[in-house]
């Protein structure tokens, strides 16, 4: 069980990042008012919010993947 502390740290980092992403979504993206007045603008703003949220999710995946790949390389070379 040598790797348990390092893996727990990775879980904790992943948790903090999910927390951060959720905070951004909850405080900035979701409450965003619709600035447009044209027809179907409601749908457009929903799609925009969805795309930005998905982008944040991809950033989370990218960061975690980098951390994991570095960890695996270090461990396999040790």
Q: Which residues from 24-63 bind other proteins, rule CB under 8 A? A: 25-27, 30-31, 46, 49-50, 61
Counting other chains too, the contacts that 54-59 makes at CB distance below 8 Å and 24 or more residues apart are 56/21, 56/24, 56/25, 57/21, 59/21
CB 64 within 8 A of CB 14: yes
CB of 56: closest distance to other proteins in angstroms? 14
1 Cα distance to chain centroid: 29
Q: How far is the CB of 38 from other proteins (least distance, A)?
A: 18
The site for other proteins (CB under 8 A) is made up of: 1-4, 7-8, 10-12, 14-15, 18-19, 22-23, 25-27, 30-31, 46, 49-50, 61, 64-65, 68-69, 71-72, 74-76, 78
């Amino acid at each position: 069980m040598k790797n348990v502390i390092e893996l727990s740290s990775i879980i904790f980092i992943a948790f903090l990042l999910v927390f951060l992403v959720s905070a951004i979504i909850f405080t900035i993206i979701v409450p965003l008012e619709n600035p447009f007045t044209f027809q179907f603008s409601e749908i457009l703003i929903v799609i925009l919010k969805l795309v930005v949220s998905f982008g944040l999710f991809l950033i989370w995946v990218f960061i975690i993947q980098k951390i994991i790949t570095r960890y695996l390389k270090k461990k396999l070379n040790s």
